[in-house]
Amino acid sequence: MSARTTIEHGTLRGWRQHKRHGSIACDPCAAARRLSKQDPPAESTQRARQQWNRGMVGDSRPATSAPVIETCTVDGCGITADQPAPSPAMVRIHVPGSTDPARWYCPGRCAAIGRALADLRSVAA
**Closer by beta carbon to Zn ion, 53 or else 94:** 94
Phi, psi (rounded to 5 degrees) for 104: -95, 135
32 binds Zn ion (CB under 5 A): no
β-partners of residue 69 are none
**Closer by beta carbon to Zn ion, 5 or else 56:** 5
77 binds Zn ion (CB under 5 A): yes
Decide if 29 contacts 11 (C-beta within 8 A). Answer: yes
Closest CA to 98 of 86, 84, 114: 114
Position among 12, 16, 74, 76 found at the interface with Zn ion (CB under 5 A): 74
26 binds Zn ion (CB under 5 A): yes
**Closer by beta carbon to Zn ion, 14 or else 117:** 14
The window from 12-20, 57-65, 92-100, 112-120 that contacts Zn ion (CB under 5 A) reads 12-20
β-partners of residue 80 are 103
Position among 90, 95, 110, 113 found at the interface with Zn ion (CB under 5 A): 110
CA atoms within 13 A on the CB side of 76: 15
Helix then strand then coil, in percent of the chain rounded to 5, is 40, 5, 55
13 binds Zn ion (CB under 5 A): no
Residues lying near Zn ion in the complex (CB under 5 A) are found at 9, 14, 26, 29, 72, 74, 77, 106, 110
